[in-house]
Amino acid sequence: MSTDQARPPVGQRVRSARSPSQQPSAGYELGARAATSIAHFWPLTRTHIYTEPERLKAFGFATASKVAQQRLPDKRVYAATPVGLRALDAWLNDPDPGAYRPRHPMLIKLYFAARARPQRVAVLLDRYRAEAAARRARFAAIVVEHDAALAAAGQRASARRFQRATALFGVRRAEADLAWLEELPAALRLPPACRPTRTGRGRSS
Please state, in angstroms and rounded to a whole number, the distance separating the CA atoms of residues 10 and 90.
9
Q: How far is CA 117 from the centre of its chain?
A: 32
115 and 161 co-located in one domain: yes
112 and 200 co-located in one domain: yes
Q: How far is the CA of 166 from the CAs of 126, 160, 161, in angstroms?
A: 26, 10, 9
Please state, in angstroms and rounded to a whole number, the distance separating the CA atoms of residues 130 and 68.
46
51 and 137 co-located in one domain: no
Q: Which domain holds residue 38?
A: 10-92
88 and 136 co-located in one domain: no
Number of domains in the chain: 2
155 and 199 co-located in one domain: yes
Residue ending a domain, choose from 92, 127, 156: 92
pLDDT of the chain along its 205 residues, tens only? 444 444 444 444 444 444 545 678 888 888 888 888 888 888 888 888 888 899 999 999 999 999 888 888 888 999 999 999 999 999 999 999 998 888 899 999 999 999 999 999 999 999 999 999 999 999 999 999 999 999 998 777 788 999 999 999 999 999 999 999 999 999 999 887 655 444 444 444 4
Phi, psi of 36 (to 5 degrees): -110, 15
Q: How far is CA 113 from the centre of its chain?
A: 27
Residue ending a domain, choose from 92, 114, 132: 92
